[in-house]
Each structure stands twice: as structure tokens, then as C-alpha cells.
Amino acid sequence: MEATQSRWHRRKDARPAEILEAALTVFAEKGFAAARMEDISRRAGVTKGTIYLYFDSKEALFKALIRQSISPAIAGAKEQVNNFRGPAGDLLRLVLTRIGHFIATSDRVVLPKIIVAEAGNFPELARFYRNEIIAQGLGLLTGLIARGVTSGEFRAVDPGHVARISIAPLLLAAFWRTSFAQFDDEPYDHAGMIETHIDLLLAGLSAGG
């Protein structure tokens, strides 16, 4: 009896993660608007009522998926920035490589595409993503680049502009993976493209270049 109860508790504890995995698959296949809670519950192998025990709406489920999927990556990058004591260029390479690895390998990369596609019909989701993810990421990169300008390692540039320029090719890689990669004759080397972007960016920022 105790073993049965233990398995039940383990199963109950695992349900939110299982529901989020199912939601990711359904949102990726159907988009946000067309996805139904019934589709997610069927994919997760639970009743629709079970989902509502953990998430009170489809919007809450999507926001939880973003927090579970992308927020930890930004938190990890912030910790890396706070603990790093070397040159700003080395730090920028580390951070962009970290973000690039996520974009080139994670199945969560479909989430920004969904936000862009659905922003017009669901502005609250777009606002949430803007505040929770984009603002945090741009703030991190802006501060990092400002550090390099202040130290004299980088040229006197606008850190906010460079932060957006830094991330733009990575977003292109994300949208390519989720929209066009299926039509490529052979898999594109996203990691190589990201590395090339970082090399060119650092060369352009260098105060001695």
C-alpha cells in the first residue's frame, strides 16, 4: 500500500512538467489560437479537469511554459555575467554562445515564433514575453556592452543599439529552425553561423580595430 501511495505522489508531482511538455507539442503543431485544452489533455494523458488543477487557463499554461523554458536560460546568463571577471569581449562571446546553443538545439525555440505569429490577436501574451524575456535579455546585453565601453575595450557605441544587433542574427536562426529548416536540402550549420556572427561583432566593437 505504501509503495502504491509513493508512486501516486511521484506521478502527481510530475504532472505539471508532463502537462507543459504536452502543451509545447500542441502549441508547436497548432499555434496558440488553435490549440485547445482538450488537445493538451489528450497529449498529456490526463483529463482536462486535471490541467485546471495546475493552470487556470490556456494563457496561464503558455506563460508557465515560457517561464519554465526560457527564463532559466536568462537567469543562468545573468549569473555568468555577475561572476565573470575577465575581458568584456570574452564575456560577450560566452553569453552569446550560450544563447546561441539554446536557439540551435532546444525545442523551446518555437515559443518566440508563436509569440510573433499570435501577437496581434493576443497582445497580453506579447506584453508578457516583452517584459519577462526580451527586456531581461536586452538589459543583460546592454549592461555587458556598456561595461566594455567604460573599460575602453569597446569603441564608443550605443550599448542599446548593439544589444539589439547582437541578438538579431540569433533570432534569425530561431525563426529559420522553426519555419524553413524543414525545406533545406541539408541541415544548416546554425552553430557555425552564430560563431561567425560573434567574431564579426567583436571585431567591429574592438577599440583597437
pLDDT in tens, 20-75: 999 999 999 999 999 999 999 999 999 999 999 999 999 999 999 999 888 888 88
Q: Cα–chain-centroid distance for residue 94? A: 16
Q: Where are the domains of the chain?
A: 2-64, 70-205
Per-residue model confidence (pLDDT) at position 29: 93
Q: How far is Cα 36 from Cα 15, in angstroms, rounded to an integer?
A: 18
Cβ atoms < 10 Å from Cβ of 105: 12
Angle of helix 88-105 relative to helix 190-205, nearest 10 degrees?
160
pLDDT at 5: 47
Q: At what angle do helices 2-34 and 58-69 cross, to 10 degrees?
A: 100
How many helices (H) and strands (E) the chain has is answered by 11, 0
Q: Mind listing the pLDDT tens digit for each residue in 114-172? A: 999 999 999 999 999 999 999 999 999 999 999 999 999 999 999 999 999 999 999 88
Say which residues have a Cβ less than 8 Å from residue 44's Cβ, sequence separation at least 6: 15, 18, 19, 21, 22, 23, 51
Domain 2-64: CATH class, spelled out: mainly alpha
Residue that the C-alpha cell 538579431 belongs to: 168
CATH topology of domain 70-205: Tetracycline Repressor; domain 2 (1.10.357)
